Amino acid sequence: MFEMLLRRAQQSVLVIFVMSILAFVGINLVGNPIHLLVAPDAPLEEIQRASHALGLDLPMYQQYLRFVTNALHGDLGNSFVFNQPAIGLIFERMPATFELAVAALLLSALIGIPLGMWSGLRPGSRVHKLAMGFSVLGVTVPVFWLGLLLILVFSVNLGWLPSGGRGPTTSLLGVQVSFLSWEGLQYIILPASTLALHNIALVMRMTEAGTREVAVQEYVKFARAKGVGAVRLMMRHIAPNVMIPIVTVMGIEFGHLIAFSLITETIFAWPGMGKLIIDSVLQLDRPVVVAYLMVVLLLYVVINFVVDVLYLILDPRLRTKSA
């Protein structure tokens, strides 16, 4: 098991190194931010002085080496626009994005897993048909269209929920969160529902397929023949085996929720990392864009590593193979 985790850690370091090159080179090929930071009619000497101050006059490989050296010391550069450490700007917005992603993940689990298991145990029933129809809808509906529709219905027409913003926040262990008050929860309902729809459909389909597969196994039939109750049968024999792939998928999807909350945060004016990166791309604020990509990449790697550990814990067969 230790050797397997060590091998995954080595692979993770390699992925971070390769993706850092791709991210840095890709961002540096998109426009020159000096034209946004200096007046168009500025003299050439001023443009050259600003380029030198920002290190934009160096060859790309030297810029990358300097970036890596500083990154190893926790410095991902200063924002061209805000003149603040880029990593600081990312960390300021991270709690809002994490709160939204966790809320969406909880909705995916609380709705998708029970409905998927119920549908898997009763194939062909009305609940099964409704659940599968909903899963198709969840996969095909565009996020931006759903977000606008929810705003139109629940904010504009009914006036039940706010249409944007994060609302009032409360300090929890030094981190500002909004879910501790009812008013704050009202602001998170619509964006979290928008972000969670696709994952609800995905979790529901996987849970339904896994439940149908496990329910016909011999050990389940034997447990039924012994008179094991429905609840114990589900919790003891069916759910643990169904949850193994679900944990993997939800772990990966959590990374997706963090990385791809851009559209949702923009629609609902949610002050998270997604909205920050959209503004930074429009302003060609390279340090913030690169810092965002590296932070998200690191989160992806850590989440995948944790998922691998959970997979080893949940599935004893993998521990046997790794041993």
Please give the average pLDDT of every successive group of 10 residues along the chain, which has 323 residues: 72 80 72 64 72 72 80 78 83 87 90 85 80 79 85 88 84 80 87 88 85 78 73 74 80 79 85 82 79 83 77 61 49
Q: Kindly give, in sequence order, each residue whose CB lies less than 8 Å from that of residue 80, ignoring residues fewer than 6 positions away.
A: 33, 36, 37, 54, 283, 284, 285, 286, 287, 288
Total residues found in the chain within this entry: 323
C-alpha to C-alpha distance for 45 and 41, rounded to whole angstroms: 12
Strand residue runs (E) in 99-154: none
C-alpha to C-alpha distance for 66 and 76, rounded to whole angstroms: 10
pLDDT of residue 34: 66
Q: Phi and psi for 173 in degrees, rounded to 5?
A: 55, 35
Nearest to 210 by CA among 319, 104, 121, 312: 121
C-alpha to C-alpha distance for 205 and 202, rounded to whole angstroms: 5
Strand residue runs (E) in the chain: 170-172, 175-177
The letter for the amino acid at 142 is: P
Coil, helix or strand at residue 83 = coil
Instruction: Name the helix (H) or strand (E) containing 169.
Output: none
The letter for the amino acid at 1 is: M
The answer to whether the CB of 236 falls within 8 A of the CB of 180 is no
pLDDT of residue 1: 62
pLDDT of residue 94: 85
CA angle 126, 129, 130 (to 5 degrees): 85
